[in-house]
Amino acid sequence: MPELPEVETVKRTLNNLITGKTIAQVQVRLPRIIQKPDDIQLFEVLLQGQTIESIERRGKFLRFILTDYVMVSHLRMEGRYGVYDTSDPLELHTHVLFRFTDDSELRYKDVRQFGTMHLFPRGEELTQPPLHKLGLEPLDEGFTFEAFRDRIAHRSTKIKPLLLNQEYIVGIGNIYVDESLFLAGIHPEREASSLSKKELMLLHAAIIKTLADSVEVGGSSIKSYVNGQGEIGMFQHQLNIYGRQSQACNKCGTEIYKTVVGGRGTHICPVCQPLKRQRIRKKLEK
Ligand SMILES: [Zn+2]
């Protein structure tokens, strides 16, 4: 499932490829992708003649800023955009086609068919579902330590599900939450309210570093994409902990184990991320 860095990469790539293009015609082949408006024909008609001014991101959502409208798109599990010539043969699972006036075409493919698109008059998209309740944007300047602490510090919830909740902080999915908690040395089952100021500072920095590093790696896939043909690929992550169960921790060599926290598969180094750190520290201090 794409997380913030992947969506950011897709956003940057699309900005390079389709900004300034004007939509001549839209064809929806799978109506369920279009969540708003209800009338699919209206979706197709409203987009005709609209120029793509830019593509922005909010959490894991793409916002296509058009002349009069904003199209909000979520890729969910398998959604992909690609830019083609209109004469290119249609690949399987292509559900929405945006034909431009220059005879190029943006195509939306989605094997699992979970992706969504919403169309709003410009400016209304941030006040309505699905964007209206989204939390802090971790790569924005507004994601200060104070803002992070205010959202997180007083909650009695376990830290991992709290970080996954998009109403607090957006864009961190299962991979990057495990990576961030590992980097900060925090066990995923710690209660948020039990974290010391120092731990919160480490976690705040770890979230930014994990996401920013991944965005940077994603940047290199932009070039390879532009030089290649067809489709925007997801980049390979440099992961320290996610998916590395039964392997040695990169920091300490201890075996990483996998468990379930808040219903999600979770990877932990028992030495780098002790569950009872505070209690142990208190004993040592005595
Ligand atoms: Zn370790």
Instruction: Express each pLDDT in 22-56 by its tens digit.
Output: 999 999 999 999 999 999 999 999 999 999 999 99
In percent, the amount of the chain with pLDDT more than 90 equals 74
The DSSP secondary structure of 13-29, one letter per residue, reads HHHHHHTT-BEEEEEES
Active site includes 29? no
Chain centre distance of CA 259: 23
Query: Are 34 and 28 contacting, i.e. CB atoms less than 8 angstroms apart?
Result: yes
**In this predicted structure, what is the pLDDT of residue 1?**
63
246 C-alpha to ligand 1 centroid (Å): 12
Please state whether the peptide bond connecting residue 274 to the residue before it is cis, i.e. omega within 30 degrees of 0.
no
Q: What was the pLDDT predicted at 23? A: 98
pTM of the model: 0.82
Identify the pLDDT of residue 237: 56
Q: Assess if CATH 3.40.50.620 describes domain 145-285.
A: no
**37 belongs to the catalytic site:** no
CA distances from 263 to 214, 257, 275 (A): 25, 16, 18
- Annotated binding-site positions for DNA: 93, 112, 155
Residues of the chain with CATH 1.10.8.50: 145-285
Facing residues of 56 across strands? 63
Binding residues: 93, 112, 155
Provide the residue type at 180 as one letter.
S
- SS3 of residue 218 by DSSP: helix
pLDDT in tens, 85-101: 999 999 999 999 999 99
> In the prediction, which pLDDT does 78 show?
81
- Is 133 catalytic? The answer is no
pLDDT under 70 in the chain at which residues? Answer: 1, 218-237, 277-286
> Quick one: pLDDT at residue 223?
38
| Distance between Cα 152 and ligand 1 center (Å) | 25
Q: How far is the CA of 146 from the centre of ligand 1 (A)?
A: 29
Tokens standing for residue 235: 């980049």
Catalytic-residue membership of 63: no
Pick the CATH number of 4-127 from 3.40.50.1970, 1.10.10.10, 3.20.190.10, 3.40.50.300: 3.20.190.10
Two tokens at 15? 């900005």
Residues of the chain with CATH 3.20.190.10: 4-127
Whole-number Å distance, alpha carbon 249 to ligand 1 midpoint, is 5
Question: Which of 11, 36, 57, 60 is labelled catalytic?
Answer: 60
**Which tokens in the block code for residue 254?**
């201890």
